[in-house]
Every structure is written in structure tokens, then in C-alpha cells.
Amino acid sequence: MRQELPHSGLRVLDFGHTVMGPTAGLVLADLGAEVIRVEPTKGDPTRALKGFGTGYFPFYNRNKGSIALDLKEPRGLAVAKRLIGTADVLIENFGPGTMARLGLSYEQLAEAFPTLIYLSLKGFLPGPYENRVALDEVVQMMSGLAYMTGPPGQPLRAGASVIDVMGGVMGVVGVQAALAERERTGRGQLVTSALFESAMFLMGQHLAYAALSDAPVPPMPARVSAWAIYDQFDSADGERVFLGITSDRHWQRFCEVFDAPDLAADPRLSTNNQRIEARGDLLPKVAALVAGLPLTALTEKAVAAQLPFAHVARPEQLFDDPHLAAGERLLSTELPGGVAVRLPALPVELAGRKTVLERSPPESGADTATLLGELGYDAAEVADLTKDGVIVVPDRGETG
């Protein structure tokens, strides 16, 4: 039995693919919903992706079931519609018009399923761009996010699929609002979110800055910092660290803990503005202090001095992060092929309740037979649909 969480008892059909749709399904699943991936008979294409796509399916599909069926075959479509009749929420992030061609658009379903909340995630909300092809990287470029991330003249996408994830999470915000409204009205509705508009929401602070500035907004690497020390440095053992000194009290503690009485006594460095004026001379001195210490000692001193500080970590180093381990924020997960790994939990706690791993990412079609049985299909019908390739039931016959 799954632990009781806010969305326990909610059934969600996840028709999503790649990152955006599955992210929305993941958040709802981690919060207790029964989420069923609706996959093609060949399995979700992201199961076989290489390169950076290798981690898509394993991460975004935990705590979900799976049904594999051919939506282009009338009998497969009939299965899908019977399943939709049992659902509270449907998620899709296909290209414009795809669900309509399958006969599964909101407009085609709303009359038959008036309580259904239908989350449609797209590249763009309605407008001149709505039929354009969009990907995370495309909208990072369009929105100015890539411009703000890279150094001048070198736009750079963020190091994770931040807009896909943001769009999926914003979609969940809309779904939860629609669920609250359904409590009052008894009716479902269409909920939409999109990549471009999600990226623009992240850029809001920069647009506000542009409105208040007389000059173009500089990219983050070229910005004029409000603080004299807000930089990356190298440790004695070759690790990269970030150190910020953002107040005069920070400065006093830095000089004390890092044993720099000469800097503390220099009247030209007493205030942040004075330190900014002296930055050209000051930065090499701070860099030398940092370079004289290995990462472990640097971390201890920065924590003791209560300074903004971080080791510039690589992803694989976070498997052993002591804070994540102590807080049970990495969930032991079995990936396809039997690979065991610990992956990040949903960063939410409710009255001290943590979200947990109830189920590793499912085998394609793992729940097909069970779900068809719930829908009233008998064993002979399931066998016929399987024989004809309309559905897929794993050979071992398990249901997840």
C-alpha cells in the first residue's frame, strides 16, 4: 500500500514523452497519485535514447505504472477511451494537432468525460508561434535565457532541461488549481502550459531590470557584481569553489577565520564599496588564501565563518553528498537492466512527510493486463489484442 499523500486516490494518465509531460506525471506520482504511462507498443522512445537522453526515462518515470497500446488501431483507441473514463487527469505534450488526429483532444473528449482535467503542454501558448516546433534549447535561445547564461557573444543553454521541467511543474500548478475548482463546480477543464511562456516567466526579473536600466542588460558572466568578492577560485587540491563575501560582517569573519589580519587592518577595505574600488588588488590576495587550502579545509573554514560558499560539484559527486544522504533525499532506484542508483527525491515535505520511492521506472506495458482486466476485458480478449499487436503484455506476465 502506498503511503497517504495529498493526491492519493487520484488517477492520472500520462501520455507524455521526453521530459516536459513526464515531469508533470512524476510530480503528481510522487505526491501520491496513481500515474499510468500510456506508451506505444514499441515502448516510449526515450527508453532507448543515448547521450544526454540516457537519463530521461529512468528519472522522470518512477512511481508510475505502464500500459502499452497502439492508439492508431481502433481497438487500441477504444482501450484508451475506456481507461480515460476511469481517470481524473490526462497529461499530453505532443505536437500541435497530434491528439486531435488520434481522436483524443480535449474537445473530442470533454462531452463524454465532463469531470476530466486535461493538461496540454506545448511549445507555445496560443498566438503567432503556436504551430512552431519548440524544444527546451529553442526557447532558451528565444527567451533571452541563453544570452543571459553565457559570456558576451556566446549564448549558452543551461546545463539541465530547466524549461522542460519548469513547464511540467507549471502544468501541475494548473492541474492542482483545476482540481480545487472541480471540488466546487464538479467539472473538469482544459489546462495549458508551454515552454516559451515558462522561459519568459524565468526571465521576468531581467525584463524588469531592462525597464529600469538605461543600458542593455548584461549577461550574468559580464554583470557588475554588487559585492567585491563573489567569484570562483581554485583550491590547493585543484577543486573549483565559489566564495561570496556580501556584507562587512562577512568580511570580518573571513579575515578572522582565514587568518588574514593584514587585510582586516587595512582601512581601505573596511566597507563593501571600498573593497569594490580595491577589487583589482584584493582578488589576487583572496585567491592566494583560498589556493593555500585543500577543499576539506576550505569548506570547514567557510562554514565556520558562515560565508556563502560552494564546491563546484560534478553530477556524479552528488551520489555521496552527506546532506542528501542524511535527509533521505536520494531515492534508491532500480533502472532498466537492473542498475541500482540513488536519484533525487521531489524537493517537498508536507508536515514532515517525505515523498518516497514506491516503484522504480516500469517495464513497458507492465500493467497492461491488470488494467485491461479492471476495464472489463476477459483473458481471451486480452490474448487476442496481444496476438494482434494492439497491446503489449511483457512475456513474464508480471504487472509491475
The domain ranges of the chain are 11-203+329-392, 225-316
Give how far Cα 8 sits from Cα of 29, 186, 211, 362, Å.
9, 19, 45, 19
| C-alpha cell read off for 196 | 516559451
pLDDT of residue 398: 43
Residue 317 CA to its chain's centroid (Å): 19
Can you tell me the distance from the alpha carbon of 363 to that of 368, in angstroms, rounded to the nearest whole number?
10
pLDDT of residue 1: 55
Q: How many residues does this entry show for the chain?
A: 400
Can you tell me the distance from the alpha carbon of 141 to that of 93, in angstroms, rounded to the nearest whole number?
20
Which residue type occupies 71? L
**Common-topology check for domains 11-203+329-392 and 225-316:** no
Over its length of 400 residues, how does the chain's per-residue pLDDT go in tens digits?
Answer: 567 899 999 999 999 999 999 999 999 999 999 999 999 999 999 999 999 899 999 999 999 999 999 999 999 999 999 999 999 999 999 999 999 999 999 999 999 999 999 999 999 999 999 999 999 999 999 999 999 999 999 999 999 999 999 999 999 999 999 999 999 999 999 999 999 999 999 999 999 999 999 889 999 998 878 899 999 999 999 999 999 999 999 999 999 999 999 999 999 999 999 999 999 999 999 999 999 999 999 999 999 999 999 999 999 999 999 999 998 999 999 998 889 999 999 999 999 899 999 999 999 999 999 999 999 999 999 999 999 999 999 986 444 4
- Do 192 and 121 meet the contact criterion of CB atoms below 8 Å apart? yes
Report CA Rg, the chain.
26
Domain 11-203+329-392 class, CATH top level? alpha beta
Residue whose C-alpha cell reads 492542482 in the numeric block? 176
| C-alpha cell read off for 136 | 527546451
pLDDT of residue 2: 65
List CB contacts of 257: < 8 A, sequence separation 6 or more: 301, 304, 305
CATH superfamily membership of 225-316: formyl-coa transferase, domain 3 (3.30.1540.10)
pLDDT of residue 123: 97
- Tell me phi and psi for residue 93, to 5 degrees: -140, 40
